Amino acid sequence: MNPNTKPLFTLSIAAEIIGVHQRTLMLYENEDLVIPHRTKTNRRRYSPADIDKLRFVQHLTRKEGLNLAGVRTMFKILDSLGDKKEAKVAEIFPDFKLPAN
């Protein structure tokens, strides 16, 4: 398993990392923006890749002024770019930087 996709973080830890309330992450899940892994006991677990995606959602809503429907549309457009996705994100959103690991 890719270490970036391994589900590690609980809902509370993911919310703390992103700086939002836990309900906000549940809302993003209900809107199909970020779907965490579920354990056998149905607990949410977020991967480092999920955390990066959550940071991008926060950037799009807070800095770019998109609503959640706009974020969903942006994700669909970016997903259609395949391998060019990361380069396009850097081009369109030059002020969005993922934290260095």
Residue 100 lies inside a defined structural domain of this protein = no
Give CA separation, 100 vs 6, 66, 82, 83, in Å: 18, 25, 23, 21
DSSP E strands, 1-101: 37-38, 44-45
pLDDT digits (tens, 9 = 90+) for 29-40: 999 999 999 999
Which pLDDT score, from 0 to 100, does residue 4 have? 84
46: domain CATH number?
A: 1.10.1660.10
Q: Is pLDDT of 100 > 80?
A: no
* Domain carrying residue 55: 3-92
Residue 24 lies inside a defined structural domain of this protein = yes
Mean pLDDT computed over 49-61: 95
What domain count does the chain have?
1
